[in-house]
Structure 1
Amino acid sequence: MTEIPHGTLQEQTFYEQVGGEPTFRRLVHRFYQGVAEDPLLRPMYPEQDLGPAEERLALFLMQYWGGPRTYSDDRGHPRLRMRHAPFVVDRAAHDAWLRHMRVAVDELKLSAEHEEQLWRYLTYAAASMVNTEG
């Protein structure tokens, strides 16, 4: 619990509980190391350097889990489905994305409760991005 003025208590956000920005940056960096070598996913990132995509995902996840609102301040509403619409996201892409994210999540060594909460969101998010049968 973190004390705030006037002696009341405020519960920590998930972002704070798991270690804040360094944790999310480690997660996303490890994820993009996998993407960089993936023959299915890598072509979906037209930028030569994956750094900008890595930064966007890190900022999005930090904001989603209760961290700074930098993502929305810089890019507006996330509109994830719209932003992914130009890409063919089928079951194979979904599975590859989750495979790389699973490695990254495992390497964080979060508590079982935090890992389960994070993984539940990531699997939901991956499923909601699928826009093509197959």
Structure 2
Amino acid sequence: MIIYDSKIARLLQGRMNPYDYVTLPIVTLTALPYGEKGIWEEMEMSIHRRQYAECFLASLLPSLLLGWQVCWGLAALPLFTYYILYWAERLAVGHSAFDYEAEKESEEVSYFVVRRRFAWWKWFWKKKLPAIDRSWFC
């Protein structure tokens, strides 16, 4: 977490008390009620963490090279690549390949053993996703 405190930030937030601060989150936190998180939710969050790491690492080298040559602001791009891809697809197509993969494979306990890198890519920007088979869940 980055704590940013300046007079301009407090003025924009409408808080001129010097003891207030503005936080800029770098890590996404998911809050669930106590006892609500089961094995499937934990697996789904693990899949999302793996997807975030893949997007981060894939964009790290190009953004650092461009940041070094063109603009240092591009060096922060790897932190937001996952969210940019997620919301761009969500706004354009109406669903997300990241969510689809996490929901589809959350029941598979040994999924990380057989998972390939960038497994979400085969569903990325597809107009229609196949249905998830939950016939055993009745």
Q: Provide the TM-score with structure 2 as the length reference.
A: 0.28
Q: TM-score, normalised by structure 1?
A: 0.29
Q: Which has the higher helix share?
A: 1
Q: Which has the larger radius of gyration?
A: 2
